[in-house]
């Protein structure tokens, strides 16, 4: 078990976890903006936020896939 901990630190798993939490915070902010814009925003603005949220979901998956050493 000690060797796994050393391996995870060496491969930057902790940094990836920090990245994932930051991306999740960005998603929460974009969700709030989307909710606020639904009342009076244009369809272009809403679509841009939807695309941004989708891109962050994709980024989150990519970071998570490479997080554990294979």
CA 28 to each of CA 18, 22, 70: distance values in angstroms, whole numbers, following the listed order: 16, 10, 30
CA 55/CA 43 separation, integer angstroms: 18
pLDDT tens track, the chain, 70 positions = 444 455 455 555 568 888 889 999 999 999 999 999 999 999 999 999 999 999 999 999 988 887 655 4
Q: Are 63 and 19 in contact (CB under 8 A)?
A: yes
pTM, entire model:
0.69
> What's the pLDDT at 56?
95
């Amino acid at each position: 078990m000690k060797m796994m901990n050393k391996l995870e630190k060496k491969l930057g798993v902790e940094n990836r976890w920090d990245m994932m939490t930051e991306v999740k915070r960005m998603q929460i902010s974009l969700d709030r903006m989307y909710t606020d814009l639904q009342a009076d925003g244009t369809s272009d603005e809403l679509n841009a936020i939807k695309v941004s949220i989708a891109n962050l979901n994709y980024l989150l998956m990519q970071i998570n896939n490479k997080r554990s050493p294979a």
